[in-house]
């Protein structure tokens, strides 16, 4: 267990407990009182907005503290939401890969090879076709065995992979469509939160960026 060291000293009047001294607080309070003419309103405003000083950075009021709490809460929610999305994505990818891997093993163990019609082929041609299929099955299995661990890396490589199992192929396409939709929604939400703080030119630039991103994903 780690212990934090503390150092205690006798009070000598030089220690600073508060960030501001009484003079600074009274100056801020009196300035607001002169504007409002109401000491209660001035106190509430100081509590809500904090104290500003030209010589110091100022102190946070309730409004600033609430904003900090809200931002921290949003960050934590985004973090947990992202973790949940990644876990769900990994599980779906695992199922897709397992389905494809099962089809590869089934075809490798199929001695009859009834997926080919060999009626019009010579024995040598049949042997060559079987060798070609065996080679492809081994290549596909090797491809799956060497996929990256990260979901993003697996998705990127599987986008260029020719699935043998039609169900796995369709589930992967559905997963890509889901990711595109989630990405578009997340970008839209971020833009909505920032719209009040950016200029019209910046808004247009962000819109152009989103369109380009969506077009890039659609081309994939």
What span, in angstroms and rounded, lies between the C-alpha atoms of 113 and 11?
Answer: 91
Residue 165 above 90 pLDDT?
yes
Give Cα 220 to chain centroid, integer Å.
Answer: 20
The answer to whether 164 and 107 have CB atoms below 8 angstroms apart is: yes
- Please indicate, yes or no, whether residues 120 and 182 belong to a single structural domain of this protein: yes
pLDDT at 81 over 50: yes
Mean pLDDT, the chain, as a whole number?
A: 71
**Which burial class, exposed, middle or buried, applies to 84 when counting CB atoms under 10 A from its CB (0-12, 13-18, 19+)?**
exposed
- Give the pLDDT confidence of 104-123 residue by residue, as tens digits: 998 887 645 555 566 677 77
Q: What is the pLDDT of residue 208?
A: 61
Q: Is residue 136 part of a domain?
A: yes
- Per-residue pLDDT band for 79 (boundaries 50, 70, 90) equals low
Indicate if 128 and 33 belong to the same structural domain: no
Say if 11 falls within a structural domain: no
Dihedral in degrees, nearest 10, Cα atoms 186, 188, 190, 194:
180
Mean pLDDT, residues 155-166 taken together: 92
Residue 181 has what pLDDT? 79
Asked if residue 17 is part of any domain, the answer here is no
- Grade residue 217 by pLDDT with cuts at 50, 70 and 90: low
Q: Are residues 104 and 212 in the same domain?
A: yes
Instruction: Tell me what the mean pLDDT of segment 32-56 comes to.
Output: 64
Number of compact structural domains in the chain? 2
Whether residues 150 and 87 fall in one domain: yes
In a domain, 16, yes or no: no
Same domain, 121 and 206: yes
Instruction: Name the nearest CA neighbour of 182 among 78, 70, 71, 73.
Output: 78
Burial of 50 (0-12, 13-18, 19+ CB in 10 A): middle
The pLDDT, as a whole number, for residue 187 is 58
Cα separation, 2 vs 4, in Å, equals 7
Q: What is the pLDDT of residues 88-106, one digit of tens each?
A: 888 999 999 999 999 999 8
Helix axis angle for 39-49 and 22-36, nearest 10°, is 120
Answer yes or no: do 108 and 209 share one domain. yes
Give residues with Cβ within 8 angstroms of 114, minimum separation 6.
Answer: none
166 & 197 share domain? yes
Same domain, 119 and 200: yes
In-domain check, residue 4: no
pLDDT tens digits, 62-77: 556 566 666 666 666 5
Residues 89 and 135 in one domain: yes
Residue 10 domain-assigned (yes or no): no
pLDDT band for 147, please (50, 70, 90 cuts): very high
Q: Are both 146 and 37 inside the same structural domain?
A: no
> Please, are residues 67 and 61 in contact by the beta-carbon 8 Å criterion?
no
Is 157 in the same domain as 213? yes
Check residue 56 and give its pLDDT: 46
Region 51-60 average pLDDT:
51
Kindly write down the DSSP assignment for every residue of 17-81, as one continuous string.
Answer: -SSS-HHHHHHHHHHHHHHHS-HHHHHHHHHHH----SSS-----HHHHHHHHHHHHHHHHHHHH
Q: Which domain holds residue 38?
A: 22-59
Look at residues 9, 42, 59 and tell me which one is the last residue of a structural domain.
59
- Looking at the fold, whether 77 and 136 belong to one and the same domain comes out as yes
Q: Which has the higher per-residue pLDDT, 206 or 130?
A: 130
Has residue 125 been placed in a domain?
yes
pLDDT above 70: residue 178 = yes
């Amino acid at each position: 267990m780690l212990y934090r060291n503390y150092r205690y000293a006798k009070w000598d009047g030089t220690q600073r407990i508060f960030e501001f001294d009484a003079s600074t607080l009274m100056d801020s309070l009196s300035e607001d009182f002169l504007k409002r003419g109401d000491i209660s309103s001035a106190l509430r405003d100081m509590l809500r907005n904090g104290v500003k000083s030209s010589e110091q950075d100022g102190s946070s009021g309730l409004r600033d503290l609430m904003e900090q709490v809200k931002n921290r809460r949003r960050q934590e929610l985004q973090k947990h939401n992202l973790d949940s999305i990644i876990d769900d994505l990994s599980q779906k990818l695992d199922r897709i890969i397992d389905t494809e891997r099962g089809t590869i093993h089934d075809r490798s163990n199929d001695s009859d090879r009834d997926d080919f019609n060999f009626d019009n082929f010579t024995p040598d041609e049949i042997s060559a076709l079987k060798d070609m299929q065996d080679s492809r099955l081994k290549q596909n299995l090797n491809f799956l065995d060497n996929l990256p661990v990260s979901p993003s890396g697996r998705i990127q490589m599987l986008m260029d992979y020719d699935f043998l199992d039609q169900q796995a192929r369709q589930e992967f396409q559905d997963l890509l469509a889901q990711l595109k939709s989630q990405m578009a929604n997340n970008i839209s939400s971020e833009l909505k939160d920032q719209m009040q703080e950016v200029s019209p030119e910046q808004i247009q630039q962000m819109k152009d960026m989103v369109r380009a991103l969506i077009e890039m994903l659609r081309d994939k």
